[in-house]
C-alpha cells in the first residue's frame, strides 16, 4: 500500500491542490491528515471542502489550531494583550469564513488514531504528541525524547507520524520510523514549496519518502490580501520565504 501523509495545511488551498495532484500521480491508496487544517489561511472553507471530498480512504487527527477554532481560546499559548488581539482577529475571520458543516467537521476530529498497515502492522498518528496538541518535539530532539513521548505511548506501532513543527523529517527510534511530513501550507524550514510524505508498506518493509511540490505562491498571496485576511502580511512572508515571520 502507498499512503500520502499531509499536515499543517493552514487554509492554503493552492498548496493543497498541488499536493493532491502530485500524490495522484503516485497512485496512493489512502491518506493520513495530521491536523491544523485551516487556521491562519486565506482559503479555509475551500480546504475543508477538498478534504471532505477526497476520493480515497482518509484518516484525520486534530491539530492545536483546529482545537483553537472549536474552543475559541488560544489553548497552549501565553500571549500578551496585543498578541491575543491579533490571534482573535485571525480566529474570528477564519470561523466566520467556515460554513456549519465545516465547523462541525472540526469539532468531531479525534486527537489521535491507530491505523492499519500491511500484514497486521499499525501506525500511530497524532498532531504534536500523543499526550496533547501543544507540545513541540523539534526535528533535532534527542532520540530518547522521541522514544519517551512517541514510542512508549504506543509500543506496538510500526510507525509514528506527527505534524505541528512545520519541518519534514524521517528518523528511526528503536528500529521504527518517526515521520513528520512537514507543512503543506506554511513551511518553516526555508523551502517555500508545499511539503508532504509518502509511506509504502508491504508487510515486511516500511519506506518513507519526503516530497516537495511547487505551487503559485504569489497567486495565494493575492488571495490573502483580496480577502482582507487579518494576518495577510504574515502569511505573505511565510509562504514566500518558507520561514516564520
CB 190 within 8 A of CB 168: no
In tens, the pLDDT along 21-30 reads 999 999 999 9
- Taking the C-alpha atoms of residue 197 and residue 208, their distance in angstroms, rounded to an integer, is 7
DSSP state string for 133-168: SS----TT--HHHHHHHTGGGSTT-SEEE--SSS-E
- Taking the C-alpha atoms of residue 218 and residue 32, their distance in angstroms, rounded to an integer, is 28
**CA-based max dimension of the chain:** 53
Q: Domains in the chain, please, with CATH?
A: 2-241 (3.60.21.10)
**Residue 244, phi then psi, degrees to nearest 5:** -65, 150
Bridge partners of residue 199, in order along the sequence:
3, 208
Query: What's the predicted TM-score (pTM) here?
Result: 0.96
Q: What radius of gyration do the chain's Cα atoms show? A: 17
**Residue 100, phi then psi, degrees to nearest 5:** -60, -40
Q: How far is CA 46 from the centre of its chain?
A: 16
CB 217 within 8 A of CB 187: no
Give pLDDT, residue 84: 84
- From the CB of residue 141, how many other CB atoms can be counted at a distance below 10 Å? 17
Lookup: cell for 122: 499499525
CB 128 within 8 A of CB 45: no
DSSP state string for 66-102: HHHHHHTS-TT----HHHHHHHHHHHHHHHHTS-HHH
Closest CA to 14 of 180, 188, 168, 186: 186
Per-residue pLDDT of the chain in tens (245 residues, 90 and over written 9):
999 999 999 999 999 999 999 999 999 999 999 999 999 999 999 999 999 999 999 999 999 999 999 998 777 777 788 888 998 999 999 999 999 999 999 999 999 999 999 888 999 999 999 999 999 999 999 999 999 999 999 999 999 999 999 999 999 999 999 999 999 999 999 999 999 999 999 877 899 999 999 999 999 999 999 999 999 999 999 999 999 98
Amino acid at each position: 500500500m502507498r499512503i500520502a501523509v499531509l499536515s499543517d495545511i493552514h487554509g492554503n488551498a493552492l498548496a493543497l491542490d498541488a499536493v493532491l495532484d502530485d500524490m495522484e500521480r503516485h497512485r496512493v491508496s489512502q491518506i493520513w491528515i495530521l491536523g491544523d487544517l485551516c487556521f491562519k489561511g486565506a482559503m479555509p472553507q475551500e480546504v475543508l471542502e477538498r478534504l471532505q471530498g477526497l476520493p480515497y480512504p482518509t484518516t484525520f487527527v486534530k491539530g492545536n489550531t483546529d482545537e483553537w477554532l472549536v474552543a475559541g481560546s488560544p489553548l497552549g499559548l501565553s500571549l500578551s494583550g496585543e498578541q491575543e488581539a491579533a490571534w482573535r482577529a485571525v480566529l474570528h475571520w477564519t470561523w466566520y469564513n467556515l460554513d456549519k458543516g465545516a465547523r462541525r467537521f472540526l469539532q468531531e476530529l479525534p486527537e489521535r488514531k491507530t491505523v492499519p498497515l500491511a500484514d497486521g502492522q499499525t501506525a500511530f498518528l497524532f498532531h504534536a504528541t500523543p499526550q496533547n496538541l501543544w507540545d513541540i518535539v523539534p526535528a533535532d530532539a534527542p532520540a530518547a525524547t522521541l522514544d519517551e513521548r512517541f514510542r512508549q505511548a504506543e509500543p506496538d506501532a510500526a510507525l509514528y507520524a506527527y505534524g505541528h513543527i512545520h519541518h519534514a523529517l524521517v528518523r528511526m527510534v528503536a528500529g521504527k520510523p518517526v515521520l513528520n511530513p512537514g507543512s503543506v501550507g506554511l513551511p518553516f524550514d526555508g523551502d517555500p514549496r508545499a511539503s508532504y510524505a509518502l509511506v509504502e508498506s508491504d508487510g515486511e518493509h516500511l519506506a518513507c519518502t519526503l516530497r516537495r511540490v511547487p505551487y503559485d505562491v504569489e497567486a495565494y498571496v493575492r488571495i490573502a490580501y483580496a480577502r482582507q485576511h487579518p494576518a495577510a502580511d504574515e502569511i505573505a512572508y511565510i509562504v514566500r520565504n518558507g520561514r516564520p515571520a
